[in-house]
Structures are given as structure tokens and as C-alpha cells.
Amino acid sequence: MDILTVVLLLVAFLLILYELRVQLSTHYRAGKKFPGPRALPLLGNAHNLLFNDQRRTFQLPRGWAATYGDTYRILVRGILNLNAFQAKDVEPLLSSPKLIEKSMIYSLLHRFLGIGLLNSTGSKWQHRRRILTPAFHFNILPSFLLTFQEECRRLVAQIGQYADKGAPVALQPLATKFTLNTICETAMGIKLDSMTMANEYRSKIEAIGTMLLQRLMNPWLFEDFTYKLSGLQGRFEKLLQPVHAFTRSIIQQRRELFHQNVRNIGDFSEENIYTNLKQRYAMLDTLLAAEAKEQIDEDGIREEVDTFTFEGHDTTSAAVIFTLLLLAHSPDVQQRLYEELQEVAQSRTDADDEFNQRDYTELRYMDMVLKESLRLYPPVPFISRNISEDTMFGDRLVPKDTLFNVHIFDLHRDPAVFPDPERFDPDRFLPACVAERSPYAYVPFSAGPRNCIGQRFAILELKTVLAAILTHFRILPVTKREELVFVADLILRTKDPIMITLQYASGRAAIISPIVLAQLCITPFGTTG
């Protein structure tokens, strides 16, 4: 028997041992209690995941959800992956104060965002959550609202140019620019358009997202060794360098201003910071106050600023895009929203032309419209956790170190909860309807201990931009809903641009002329430090 034969037999023997070990493992035995596609020896279900494009990758779990009708399993590298899309299995995960550890998927973000609020767990996550929660307090939101309204004036001016020509508008570039500007000013205290490197910063953020997705879709790139060997790690690091340099520069600038204005306060509470700052409040000020109290260091501040900048603009941009698409196909909903805006405007006692926070709170139908839009098109269609201890889900054991994925896109389309799920119907969120269903059947901002810290911030921003657009324009459809082709990405995204057209709404009191719009487009609003 030659050496090659011996080697091949040894390899075959080791592979058989590996497969026997997998089949005798707790994960394999637990997985038998869940339906799922056939797992092959050695490969598990890796063959189902490999060599798919972005479109196929998005469609795959939709097909499995329809086929199995229950939480289903796949096995990858001997690890049990469970995929839930019904409230009965989502609730025990999201409501648990213990099952808060993000899955290995989020480790791909560590070089970019560090291990901050999004990626951390345990005591570090609890510590960061305590530091950041006051930055989104109800009393702080009015400061952010001023930023939203300024950027809305810029947006209205920009889209007014399309309305003048009757030209179709591609929503993604406009929405992304708007939300990135707002999050940079509210998170870091700077107007991105005032920075000479604004366009470079935007392009780097987009390129980073593309590379992260490329790694996510190719499991052989998960390991740092193979990622480095492929040459992609070097390219990724080059993208990160200017982004992190930009963030550190902004932090340093804001730190100097912060200490100039608050060094004599003594009390670093949000109320005192908000009252005494000579420039507009930013989330970064909360972090700088924590740094002054030695609760966080410079790298920790950068982690959180990068996290909120990245997470806070793309998700809100997606919500803006899909809500405008739905309204373009729903003129009756548009009209009802406009009438509600007029009612609130007429009932105001404040002489100021701009709505205040209380006014936006009164837009209850708009609340329902936004909730229904986020049901149909959740900006984050998928979240993933690591099961940190053996847990019972109903009568089925889910062992430690299982990856548990919540497919929010499918959860929101459960026909048992949302009949005719593809229909856009804001009345689904009438109080009586909401009371009848599980709170875990609708989780666009996640739920439980790790729910989105910025959801009130996001809703206020969405209300502000919708109110600004609907006050001036009617939205007309170009892209049809049935034409949407979704692709796998870090957020919900379509293969092709989503297009609408806009018309000046005759008879609406607050219409701005094209000349004034042009002036608004070039009027400097100043910087906030």
C-alpha cells in the first residue's frame, strides 16, 4: 500500500469520525426536533448557502419559511442555526434578560465599529447602555428636532428641482444624504456638508458596507486567516483608516468645545450640559461627560460614534424610501395625512411656524402609517443572537451556542397575525387591533432588553421628513411594488433604484416657490461645532 493510499484512508477515517461526532452532538440531536432542509454528511447545509448571489440569498429564507411554516433549522460547520418567524418563538428570545449576546455574524463589524453598544454583551453592554440612554431622553429630542427641520428644508429645496421638471426621482441618494447629514450633526455635532471631506466620508461608508456584505455572504471569508489571504482584509483596512481618522478628528474638536463651555459647571448631567452648552447638543456630549467622569475612554467614544453614524443613517434612509413608495401608491392615505397635518397646524397656539415636539406627537395617523410601513419593509430584516445557555422554547430544547436568527421580514408577514400581509393598511395599528396581538409579532426596533435605544429619535426624524414633504408635494408612483427585487444586505435594500415623481400640491398653504427653494438650497445654516 503506497503512502498516498494511506493518507487518503486516514483522511477518510478522520472525516467519518468528524461526521459521527457531529451526529452525536447535542446540536445535531436538538436540530432533529425542528424541520429544515436536508443536511449532507460533512457539509451540513453549507451547500445551500454557497454560490448564491444577493438576490438568491435574500429569497432563500423566504422559501424555507413558506415550506416549513415553523422555526426551521440548518446546520453549518456543525453549528445549529435556528430561524424563527413566529411570535411564539421570538418572544422567549427577545424578552429574555439573559439571551442578549449577539451572534458571530456581528464579529465581522468589530474592526469597523469596535465592540460598542451594538456588538457588546454582558457588563460592557449594560455599562454603555446606561451611559447612552440619557442622550435619547424625551427632553433632549427638541434639540435634535431643530437639526431635522433644517435638513428637511434642504431636502425640500432639492426635490423641488425635480418637481419643477416633472422628472422621476431616485430616492436612495436623496434619502441617504439627508439621514447621514442628520445623524452626523446629532451624533457628532457637525454639519457634514460643511466639511471638505464630506463626499469622501460618504463614499467610504458605502464601500465599507459593500465589503462587509461580501464577507458575510462568503463563509470561507469568516476566518481572519482566509480573509487576509484573499487580500480583502488589506483593502478593508485602507477604507477604515480615513473614516476612523475623521471620527477622531471630530471627537477632538468637540472635546475642546465641550470643555471650554462646561468646565465650570461641575455637574455633568444631561440637563446641565444641555443648558450650558453654547453650541447645539450632540450625543457626543454625553460621551464626553462620561469621559470626564472616567467612565469611558477615547476608543470607547469612537466605537459609539462610529456605531451610531453607521447604524443611524442607513436604517432611517430605508424607512424614508419605503414609506414614500407606499404613499405614492396610496393617494387616500396621503390625503388623510395631509389633512391631519393641517388640523394640527390649525390647533397650534405657538406663533412659531415650525412644529414642535408636542405637535409631532399629535400626528397619530402618521404613527399608524409609519408602523405599517415598518411592518411591510423593516429596515433591519434580520437579527441574530447566540444562545448563551440551554433554553427551552416551548417543549423544544435549544442548546447552548446555537445561533438563533429572527427573520423580521417574515415575522411581519405572518398571515395568522396580519391577514393579507402584503396589503398596506395603517388601520392594522388602531389601538384595538394592537391590543389583540402579541407585542413580539411586530418588532422593527427589536424588543426586550436589547431594543433599539434610538427608536423615538428615529420616529421623530421620520415624522419630520414626511411632514415636510407632504406639506409641499404630492407623491406619485413610478416604481411598482410588485417590481421590487430585494437583495441581501446589511439593511433592507432593492436591486434597482426606487423611483417616484413629485408634484407641487396646489391649494396647500405652505407651498414654497421655485425661487425660494433655490435660495434655501444655497443658504448656509451655519455649523454647530
Q: For 50-89, what is each residue's pLDDT tens digit?
A: 778 889 989 999 999 999 999 999 988 778 999 999 999 9
- What pLDDT is recorded for position 515? 33
- Tell me the domain boundaries of the chain: 80-521
Q: State the average pLDDT over residues 199-215.
A: 79
State the cell numbers at 173.
441618494
State the cell numbers at 275.
443648558
For residue 83, list its beta bridge partners: 72, 405
Helix (H) / strand (E) containing 475: strand 473-477
Whether the per-residue pLDDT at 526 is higher than 50: the answer is: no
Tally the residues of the chain. Answer: 529
> Contacts for 372-375 with beta carbons within 8 Å, 24 or more apart?
372/326, 372/424, 372/425, 372/426, 372/428, 372/429, 373/319, 373/322, 373/323, 373/326, 373/424, 374/319, 374/444, 375/412, 375/418, 375/428, 375/442, 375/444
How would you classify the pairing of strands 382-386 and 403-407?
antiparallel
Cα 122 to Cα 116, 119, 453, 465, distances in angstroms = 11, 11, 16, 36
Residues making up the binding site: 452
State the cell numbers at 197.
471631506
- What pLDDT is recorded for position 12? 61
Which pLDDT band holds residue 105 (cuts at 50, 70, 90)? confident
Better pLDDT: 138 or 16: 138
How would you classify the pairing of strands 396-398 and 403-407?
unpaired
> Residue 488: how many CB atoms within 10 A of its CB?
21
CA 283, CA 147: separation in Å to the nearest integer? 13
Helix or strand or coil: residue 196? coil
- What pLDDT is recorded for position 127? 93
Helix (H) / strand (E) containing 501: strand 499-504
State the cell numbers at 135.
442622550
Find where cell 451572534 sits: 103
Q: Which region, left, alpha or beta, applies to residue 51 given φ > 0 means left and ψ of -120 to 50 means alpha?
A: left
For residue 501, list its beta bridge partners: 476
Better pLDDT: 209 or 467: 467
Tell me how far the alpha carbon of residue 37 is from its chain's centroid: 29
Better pLDDT: 310 or 4: 310
CA 179, CA 464: separation in Å to the nearest integer? 12
What's at 525, amino acid-wise?
F
CA 405, CA 399: separation in Å to the nearest integer? 14
Residue closest to 312 by CA, chosen among 275, 284, 350, 273: 284
Who's near 54: CB < 8 A, 6+ residues apart?
213, 217, 487, 488, 489, 495
Interval 399-450: pLDDT, tens: 999 999 999 999 999 999 999 999 999 999 999 999 999 999 999 999 999 9
Residues making up the binding site for heme: 452
- What pLDDT is recorded for position 267? 55
Which pLDDT band holds residue 488 (cuts at 50, 70, 90)? confident
CA 162, CA 413: separation in Å to the nearest integer? 34
Who's near 262: CB < 8 A, 6+ residues apart?
268, 272, 273, 276, 277, 289
Q: What phi and psi values does residue 84 have, to the nearest 5 degrees?
A: -110, 145
Which pLDDT band holds residue 213 (cuts at 50, 70, 90)? confident
Which pLDDT band holds residue 232 (cuts at 50, 70, 90)? very high
- What pLDDT is recorded for position 4? 67
One of 1.10.1660.10, 1.10.3210.10, 1.10.630.10, 3.40.350.10 is the CATH number of 80-521, namely 1.10.630.10
Average pLDDT of the chain?
85
Interval 172-182: pLDDT, tens: 989 988 998 89
- What pLDDT is recorded for position 524? 28
Do 383 and 368 meet the contact criterion of CB atoms below 8 Å apart? no
Burial status of residue 246 (CB atoms within 10 A of its CB: 0-12, 13-18, 19 or more): buried
Interval 352-408: pLDDT, tens: 678 999 999 999 999 999 999 999 999 999 999 999 999 999 889 899 999 999 999
- Residue 81 is classified by DSSP as E
Whether the per-residue pLDDT at 247 is higher than 80: the answer is: yes
State the cell numbers at 247.
471620527
